[in-house]
Amino acid sequence: MDSVIKNFQAIVGRDNVLSEPDELLVYECDGLPQHKHRPRAVIFPRSTEEVSEVMRMLARERIPFSPRGAGTGLSGGALALGEGVVIELARMRRLLKLDAENRLAVVETGIVNSHVSRAAAPLNLHYVPDPSSQPTCTIGGNLAENSGGIHCLKYGVTVDHVMAARVVLSGGEVVDLEETGTGLPGYDLLGVFIGSEGTFGIATEATLRLVPLPQSVRTLLADFTDVMDASRAVSEIIAAGIVPAALEMMDGAIIRAIESTTFSAGIPQDAEAALLLELDGLEAGLGEEAERAEAILRKHGARAVRRAKDEAERKRLWAARKGAFGVMGRISPDTMIQDAVVPRSRLPEILAASYRIGTKYGLRVANVFHAGDGNLHPFICFDSRHPDEVLRVKEAGRELMETCVRAGGSITGEHGVGLDKSDYLPLIFNADDMDAMLRVRAAFDPTGLCNPGKIIPTLRGCGEAQTRRRGEKERSRLVLSPCPRVSASPRLFFPASPRLSSASARPSSNIESSSSKSNLDAMRRTLCGIAGEENVNNEVEPSLVVSPSSADEACEVLKFAALEGLTVMPAGAMSWPYAGNPLRRCDIIISARRMNRIIEHEPADLIAVAEAGARLSDLNERLNGSGQWLALDPPGDANETVGGVAATGLAGALSVGYGSPRNHVIGMRVALADGRVIKSGGRVVKNVAGYDLCKLFIGSYGTLGLILELAFKLRPRPARTATVILSAEQAALWQCSRSILAAHLLPVAFEIVSENLAQSFGVEAEANSRALLVRFAGNEEAVSYQTMKVRELAGRERIFSVVETDDEKLWRMIAAMPMKDKQHLVWRVKVRLTDLRAFIDEAMKKEALFSNARWHACVADGRLRVASTETNEVEAAIASLTRLRNTAKKLGGALVIEQAPTEIKNAVDAWGALGAKAELMRRIKAELDPKNILSPGRF
Amino acid sequence: MTSTSQLGSLLAAEEDKLLACVHCGLCLEACPTYVATGDENDSPRGRIYLMRAVEEGRLERTSRTFERHLNRCLGCRACEMACPAGVQYGQLLEAGRAELFRTKERRGWTNRTLRFVLRHVWLHPKRLRMAFGFARILRDMGIVRLLIKSRVPRMISGRAEFALALLESSSSDKLTKSVGAQQSVKATRREAHDVRQSKALLFTGCVTEGLFARVNRATRRVLEVNGCKVNAPEEQVCCGALHAHAGDLEGARHLARRNIVAFDNDEEIAIVTNAGGCGAMFLSYEHLLADDPEFSERARKFSARVRDIGQQLETTGVRASSALVDEKLTTYDTSCHLLYGQRAADASLKLMLSVPDIRFVPLVGSEVCCGGAGVYNLLETELSSRVLDEKLNHVEETKAETIATGNPGCHMQIGAGLLLKEKKVRVCHPVELLDESYERAGFYEKPK
């Protein structure tokens, strides 16, 4: 032991290691002191290099470790079990970079959450996620827990605001993970890493998205004499299409506790419930929205609706709300805090149940929660000095949790599972679900040393389970060993790989099991047996296309394929079957087009559940009736299925306002390669139970599983949209786009398009000019204010502008641009916003091949998509693409070929080198699809 | 009650009063030592955890960890403001330190010296006056300045140099013409009709009277201008804050009783302090003597009468004056005990801002401790200087040429830091600025 400590000291210095048992005492618990485990040592690294070196040594010595930030977590996540050490990041708290133009901050993860916003405030920007522990908690802890906070109702949680992270894996490898939804290639490893509670590795640096501080804010405090009235008001506000920035509820017990402290905010003490509602955005239109909200509050029995008159009063109201956890110390010597999420519409009954359970066990229950998200924090009061009460509180907690799960909820919305709730996990996930999670965990952490004993119950203190896992891993490695790595050229093994796109050229010799005609017939017979004869065809020679009508049928097909060693490509409407690298083999295509039911839509919950084969346009038509929609416009021709949208993970122009598919999917059911069906996420908008495997399947292009069913977070349909079209020569337009951005308006789409594309949808553009399209959505006042503002800015630069109020068709055409012809060359690039212009100039001017290409680029986030028709000059295209890819790479971005004639695809990798990510992707693929059945060779 | 169970009973009382730490961690970033070290042991939450562990028998009373981390607390009580559960950390800390004070083992020479001085100098007003007199001679003859310039103390130890810098920084500013010691308020001004007549008992304080007599004179004059008849009881002694913070609660109680007696003549008259540390200590007499049957009630009444000069002027109102001669950019650093202990920081700043046309620039992190904390800077010099550096960086950002603060400890700490960094920034008490503006307004006269 002593020598181990000495080794730590050699790496980080004597002052940065605590090893005296007495000094380790305070590290035995985090924000939830019920659980105590004293670590063997606490190490304070000061750089990524030191973290890496420490972890290398830990792996060598086989010592488990747990990362820790400020120790404010509420699930026992930062406790080191089994003689482990704590890696404490509190001494890595530098702000490395603040970039106003690209709206990002690069930080060391030990930095305190609120310090980021404080630093960005002079730039009129802020970092949105604001958990109650914001003044103290670290960004690293936020990443581990995927923290929410008060404003996540409108703006999303941590995963929606982190653009990249530098992660050290057990064993010391350093990997840079990036957000993929906006166009970067590869699995969304960042998405699944966030919320992994320190069991995948340690994030040491993070790039955070900053957003403009809202121009205006209205904070309303309504008090009620009945808690049920308040919760009904919540449901109606949401169903009425108002998206508050925050919507919080406190019950009578909490109100009275808060009012007795320094956090007192003047809430009437005889109230039984108070709602704190915040609306933010542009001043224009906000007043109207506040009035609508107030009317609903009064309709449901609010006694008084108070509006914060200034920033000081607003701060006081929020401080009162955020202090609620600590304030509990005044109500009771000990409290158990729960973190359940239920569909919003079930709030009234769950609240009633919580008080009923309290009465049943003779314990006081107080509720303070994020009502807008349906995220409850019931506090159950007890006194740990009475053992009997301790037993009862545990019983009550469990019963409450079971009630929430029965109502369609989840066991944790933001606190994480950690050590505390791992026993609850089986309430919502079955053995297969958890097995899939364990596999992904093993891919990230093959050593099993990363924060062991957390999240998944089987691992708790059980060496046997870990050994079993390792044994399985070894076996799966053996099976996979002949498989080429993702990053290496996949064509090494099948040099004359056939392309799906040229149906005639496929030599059957590459197919072992179905090489002969008789095998093909046998295959067809089986598939017909499963899905019915009319649902099996060979529209894409030589593969058989099967369209099952249900998840069960689809799984049958998968099981059959697994048994026979056949390869399978999952597909939707088959809009993008040729994405990525050419498949090495494809025996069966499973199309989800017949699995197109819309299963559920609950307007008050703002969620919808649909089968993967449902078309996005059909879903939206259905949602339209209740004034809601799934705010996505991925590249496509209106035939795309929701499953396909998720599998590609691609964002369209609307991502500026609403995000990409990864921000909208809250749950899914997926068939794995062996035909087992697993579930991830759920049907609630906020959920951190287990790993968020949804993120992994989104953008995996059918290489990890077959998506069967998806649950989406919806948005209220805006009352109005309008697009301002500006046309001028490009220097002026770029200039203007910057002043529009600087005006901190809230466009939902913001694209610059090439002259020929502009002409194709009827925008008159002079020669050598471009068009800039700015789309706004919202209520009448907000939209007309913003369009007017943009026209004013354009006028100042003498740029011609028009407003298109019926703009749906225009944006559809942009989305359909890459879909025109499957022989076209379509590629996309993602670079930093500030590099976009230079890149476009280089691509369009220097590369003659693309001088006439149609393209559109997002001037709010640096996405570019180019489609060209002149694809016969293969050699020139290959050379151009390679040059441009290098340029993109140098700028820290990437170039992805979405569609290309086969000669080009054979010569240039569709994704480009994926760097250190490739190995992780390969490990994940090997864990989830060990026989490499699903879309082999796509990455 | 024996002091053996002081900490234990206090912790239990907190639990019963439902003012117990729930371990939420909101105090961490409010704590200057945690911010400097990132070590949970150096946080309020961690220290309370250590205290609880000692009480529960999970940690030895003699544990080095317990001693080290309790000693490293500045006692600024910023955590109390951040604490949603209302934990009275200051009281817990004092009880914890009393626990340490009783333990004889393992005490370094600094602690021995401190203990000796507190017991044998501070409790005896005559010896204390002599000590300060000697210090003034060294300071006013320029010996201290010469020593610092010679760099010899630095060679001995950083602590020695800092101690000298503290003393030197207490001397009055040569650049600014402050109000002469002999000046007094013109009779006409004193009895002006528009101000309400009132009385005040001035607490002069040991360090203030010993090294900052000018602040006491300014306080007197300003009070008089505002219609307040000032009297300073002869029998008053040191407030006992140093003793209490060092865990010598018996010493603190001894001094507290003497002060209560000294100020006992009229229950109606306010006791005015101009040092946040002393003011906060006076407020805690109530708690300190709660178990003394003879004094508990008197202590409660005493504490209720205490006002900082800023608060007192809020009750009298501040008479208009004229602008300062040189309009230097001025900033204000909040004394922790004025803010968290006495809750009088707003009044103190308001006093300063009542000077006409003052060019005020706010100080970022004004609410954070400067690292002075009584004699903490001499006991935990390394950590103290890290906390101070942070403060000085913020002071530099303001580009202010004058910084005002309402406590002599903070005055010397910031002054010493500036001195050693060779920064020409004047440090003063806010009341001095008002005093100067009154002089300029012609409210004062020289004695004939």
pLDDT in tens, A392-404: 999 999 999 999 9
**Which of these three, B38, B70, B102, is where a domain ends?**
B102
Q: Of A246, A179, A247, nearest to A214 (Cα)?
A: A246
Asked if pLDDT for residue B100 goes beyond 70, the answer is yes
**Contact (Cβ atoms closer than 8 angstroms) between residue A825 and residue A904:** yes
Judged by CB atoms closer than 8 Å, whether chains meet at B29 and A135 is answered as yes
Q: Report, as an integer, the average pLDDT of A317-322.
A: 87
Report if residue A277 sits inside a domain. Answer: no
Residues of B whose CB is below 8 A from A112 = 29
Asked if pLDDT for residue B324 goes beyond 80, the answer is no
Instruction: Say what the pLDDT of residue A493 is.
Output: 29
**Contact (Cβ atoms closer than 8 angstroms) between residue A221 and residue A303:** no
Residue A456 shares a structural domain with residue A341: no
Instruction: Say what the pLDDT of residue A484 is.
Output: 32
Q: For residues B395 and B360, what is the distance between their CA atoms, to the nearest angstrom? A: 13
Q: For residues A189 and A185, what is the distance between their CA atoms, to the nearest angstrom? A: 11
Its domain, for residue B398, covers 319-442
Instruction: Say what the pLDDT of residue B3 is.
Output: 41
E-strand spans in A782-848? 800-804, 825-830
Say whether residue B152 is in contact with chain A using an 8 A CB cutoff: no
Distance from the Cα of residue A467 to its chain's centroid: 32
Of A91, A110, A333, the CB nearest to B20: A333
% residues pLDDT > 90 (chain B): 52
Asked if pLDDT for residue A512 goes beyond 90, the answer is no
Which neighbouring-strand residues pair with A106? A97, A207
Q: For residues A571 and A32, what is the distance between their CA atoms, to the nearest angstrom? A: 46
Structure tokens at B314: 């809020």
Report if residue A485 sits inside a domain. Answer: no
Task: Using the structure block, give the residue that is written with the tokens 């306080």.
Answer: B219
Cis peptide before A542 (omega within 30 of 0): yes
Of B41, B81, B85, the CB nearest to A330: B85
Residue A782 shares a structural domain with residue A857: yes
CA distance B243 to chain A (A): 27
Q: Of A631, A818, A749, A662, nearest to A181 (Cα)?
A: A662
Of A29, A325, A332, the CB nearest to B24: A325
Find, in chain B, the residue whose alpha carbon is nearest to that of A27: B40
Say whether residue B108 is in contact with chain A using an 8 A CB cutoff: no
Residues of B whose CB is below 8 A from A325 = 22, 24, 84
Written as one string, the DSSP assignment of A544-603 is: EEE--SSHHHHHHHHHHHHHHT--EEEESSSSSTT-SSPPS--SEEEE-TT---EEEEEG
Q: Report, as an integer, the average pLDDT of B307-326.
A: 82
Instruction: Say what the pLDDT of residue B280 is.
Output: 94
Q: For residues A647 and A576, what is the distance between their CA atoms, to the nearest angstrom? A: 10
Judged by CB atoms closer than 8 Å, whether chains meet at B39 and A20 is answered as no
Say whether residue B329 is in contact with chain A using an 8 A CB cutoff: no
Residues of B whose CB is below 8 A from A113 = none
Judged by CB atoms closer than 8 Å, whether chains meet at B85 and A328 is answered as yes
**Which of these three, B59, B77, B102, is where a domain ends?**
B102
Say whether residue B277 is in contact with chain A using an 8 A CB cutoff: no
Question: Under DSSP, is residue A899 helix (H, G, I), strand (E, B) or coil?
Answer: strand
**Which of these three, A88, A123, A157, is where a domain ends?**
A88
Report if residue A903 sits inside a domain. Answer: yes
Residue A209 phi, psi dihedral angles, 5° rounding = -80, 135
Residue B42 carries which DSSP code?
G
Q: Of A543, A541, A506, A503, nearest to A523 (Cα)?
A: A543
Say whether residue B24 is in contact with chain A using an 8 A CB cutoff: yes
Q: Report, as an integer, the average pLDDT of A663-674.
A: 96
End-to-end CA distance of chain A: 44
Instruction: Say what the pLDDT of residue A478 is.
Output: 33
Amino acid (1-letter code) at residue A441: R
Instruction: Say what the pLDDT of residue B246 is.
Output: 87
Structure tokens at A460: 């708790």
CATH of the domain at A776: 3.40.462.40
Find, in chain B, the residue whose alpha carbon is nearest to that of A383: B15
Instruction: Say what the pLDDT of residue A822 is.
Output: 66
Instruction: Say what the pLDDT of residue B131 is.
Output: 92
Residues of A whose CB is below 8 A from B46 = 26
Instruction: Say what the pLDDT of residue A464 is.
Output: 38
Question: Under DSSP, is residue B20 helix (H, G, I), strand (E, B) or coil?
Answer: coil
Of A23, A136, A323, the CB nearest to B29: A136
Of B15, B53, B60, the CB nearest to A333: B15
Asked if pLDDT for residue B61 goes beyond 90, the answer is no
Instruction: Say what the pLDDT of residue B289 is.
Output: 93
Q: Report, as an integer, the average pLDDT of B281-286.
A: 94
Say whether residue B19 is in contact with chain A using an 8 A CB cutoff: yes
Structure tokens at A228: 């049920």
**How would residue A166 be classed by pLDDT, with cut points 50, 70 and 90?**
very high
Residue A730 shares a structural domain with residue A842: yes
Report if residue A97 sits inside a domain. Answer: no
- What pLDDT digit, counting tens, does each position of B243-274 carry? 998 888 999 999 999 999 999 877 788 999 99
Instruction: Say what the pLDDT of residue A845 is.
Output: 81
**Contact (Cβ atoms closer than 8 angstroms) between residue A856 and residue A814:** yes
Residues of A whose CB is below 8 A from B58 = 25
Judged by CB atoms closer than 8 Å, whether chains meet at A135 and B86 is answered as no
Which of A264-268, A493-497, A529-533 is predicted least confidently? A493-497
Asked if pLDDT for residue B175 goes beyond 60, the answer is no
Residues of B whose CB is below 8 A from A135 = 26, 29-30, 82
Instruction: Say what the pLDDT of residue A286 is.
Output: 93
Residue A782 shares a structural domain with residue A877: yes
Judged by CB atoms closer than 8 Å, whether chains meet at B24 and A70 is answered as no
CA distance A6 to chain B (A): 20
Best probe of the B interface among A15, A22, A259, by most B CBs < 10 A, is A22
Asked if pLDDT for residue B445 goes beyond 90, the answer is no
Residue A364 shares a structural domain with residue A458: no
Residues of A whose CB is below 8 A from B29 = 70, 112, 114, 135-136
Asked if pLDDT for residue A697 goes beyond 80, the answer is yes
Asked if pLDDT for residue B6 goes beyond 90, the answer is no
Q: Write the CB contacts of B56 (distance below 8 Å, at least 6 apart in sequence).
A: none
Q: Write the CB contacts of B443 (distance below 8 Å, at least 6 apart in sequence).
A: B185, B186, B189, B221, B225, B321
CA distance A257 to chain B (A): 9
Query: Which residues from A are below 8 Å from B when comparing CB atoms?
Result: 18, 20, 22-23, 25-27, 29, 31-33, 44, 70-72, 88, 90-91, 93, 110, 112, 114, 133, 135-137, 261-263, 323-333, 335
Best probe of the A interface among B35, B40, B55, by most A CBs < 10 A, is B40
Answer positive or negative: Cα dihedral of A580, A585, A589, A590. Answer: negative
Structure tokens at B384: 């103290």
Q: Report, as an integer, the average pLDDT of A842-848.
A: 83
Distance from the Cα of residue A570 to its chain's centroid: 22
Q: Of A825, A808, A814, nearest to A720 (Cα)?
A: A808
CATH of the domain at B354: 3.40.50
Total structural domains within chain A: 4
Say whether residue B21 is in contact with chain A using an 8 A CB cutoff: yes
Which among B28-37, B92-101, B259-268 has the top mean pLDDT? Answer: B28-37
**Which of these three, A57, A88, A119, is where a domain ends?**
A88
Higher pLDDT, A751 or A481: A751
Report if residue B132 sits inside a domain. Answer: no
Total structural domains within chain B: 2
Best probe of the A interface among B17, B22, B65, by most A CBs < 10 A, is B22
Residues of B whose CB is below 8 A from A23 = 41, 65
Residue A824 shares a structural domain with residue A872: yes
**Which of these three, A36, A57, A88, is where a domain ends?**
A88
Residue A467 shares a structural domain with residue A342: no
- What pLDDT digit, counting tens, does each position of B365-411 carry? 999 999 998 889 888 899 999 999 999 999 999 999 999 999 999 99
User: pTM for this one?
Assistant: 0.90
Q: For residues B447 and B445, what is the distance between their CA atoms, to the nearest angstrom? A: 6
Q: For residues A768 and A900, what is the distance between their CA atoms, to the nearest angstrom? A: 27
Structure tokens at B167: 């003393």
Report if residue B279 sits inside a domain. Answer: no
Q: Report, as an integer, the average pLDDT of A239-259.
A: 91
Q: Of A139, A37, A108, A88, nearest to B40 (Cα)?
A: A88
Residue B403 phi, psi dihedral angles, 5° rounding = -130, 130
Its domain, for residue A400, covers 335-415
Q: For residues A780 and A797, what is the distance between their CA atoms, to the nearest angstrom? A: 26
Report if residue B341 sits inside a domain. Answer: yes
Instruction: Say what the pLDDT of residue A509 is.
Output: 33
Judged by CB atoms closer than 8 Å, whether chains meet at B25 and A70 is answered as yes
- What pLDDT digit, counting tens, does each position of A737-768 carry? 999 999 989 999 999 999 888 888 777 666 66
Residue A485 carries which DSSP code?
P
Q: For residues A683 and A648, what is the distance between their CA atoms, to the nearest angstrom? A: 22
Q: For residues B146 and B165, what is the distance between their CA atoms, to the nearest angstrom? A: 11
Mean pLDDT estimate for chain A: 88
Q: Report, as an integer, the average pLDDT of A561-585.
A: 88
Task: Using the structure block, give the residue that is written with the tokens 């197919």.
Answer: A511
Residues of B whose CB is below 8 A from A133 = 24-26
Say whether residue B64 is in contact with chain A using an 8 A CB cutoff: yes
**Contact (Cβ atoms closer than 8 angstroms) between residue A139 and residue A208:** yes
Instruction: Say what the pLDDT of residue A490 is.
Output: 31
Residue A365 shares a structural domain with residue A474: no
Instruction: Say what the pLDDT of residue A459 is.
Output: 42
**Contact (Cβ atoms closer than 8 angstroms) between residue A296 and residue A237:** yes
Asked if pLDDT for residue A654 goes beyond 80, the answer is yes
**Which of these three, B80, B102, B124, is where a domain ends?**
B102
CATH of the domain at B81: 1.10.1060.10
Residues of A whose CB is below 8 A from B60 = 22
Instruction: Say what the pLDDT of residue B111 is.
Output: 78
Instruction: Say what the pLDDT of residue A471 is.
Output: 43
Chains A–B, number of C-beta pairs less than 8 Å apart: 105
Most distant CA pair in chain A, distance: 83
Report if residue B430 sits inside a domain. Answer: yes
Of B22, B40, B66, the CB nearest to A27: B40
Instruction: Say what the pLDDT of residue B404 is.
Output: 94
Report if residue B32 sits inside a domain. Answer: yes
Residues of B whose CB is below 8 A from A71 = 25, 40
H/E segment holding residue A722: strand A720-729
Distances (CA, A) of A527 to A523, A555, A571, A933: 6, 11, 16, 17
CATH of the domain at A82: 3.30.43.10
Distances (CA, A) of A223 to A231, A232, A256, A325: 12, 13, 13, 20
Q: For residues A44 and A39, what is the distance between their CA atoms, to the nearest angstrom? A: 13
Report if residue A278 sits inside a domain. Answer: no
Residue A630 carries which DSSP code?
-
**How would residue B151 be classed by pLDDT, with cut points 50, 70 and 90?**
confident
Using CB atoms within 10 A of its CB, is residue B115 exposed (0-12), middle (13-18) or buried (19+)? middle
Q: What angle do helix axes B213-225 and B430-440 make, rounded to 10 degrees?
A: 60
Report if residue A837 sits inside a domain. Answer: yes
Q: For residues A308 and A296, what is the distance between their CA atoms, to the nearest angstrom? A: 18
Judged by CB atoms closer than 8 Å, whether chains meet at A329 and B84 is answered as yes
Find, in chain A, the residue whose alpha carbon is nearest to that of B63: A22
Q: Report, as an integer, the average pLDDT of A149-171.
A: 94
CA distance A33 to chain B (A): 7
- What pLDDT digit, counting tens, does each position of A187-226 carry? 999 999 999 999 999 999 999 999 999 999 999 999 999 9
Report if residue B448 sits inside a domain. Answer: no
Structure tokens at A427: 């309430």
Find, in chain B, the residue whose alpha carbon is nearest to that of A329: B85
Which neighbouring-strand residues pair with A216? A281
% residues pLDDT > 70 (chain A): 92
Amino acid (1-letter code) at residue A512: E
Residue A362 shares a structural domain with residue A469: no
Instruction: Say what the pLDDT of residue B184 is.
Output: 79
Say whether residue B82 is in contact with chain A using an 8 A CB cutoff: yes
Q: Report, as an integer, the average pLDDT of A577-592.
A: 90
E-strand spans in A786-824? 800-804
Say whether residue B13 is in contact with chain A using an 8 A CB cutoff: no
Of A31, A44, A335, the CB nearest to B25: A31
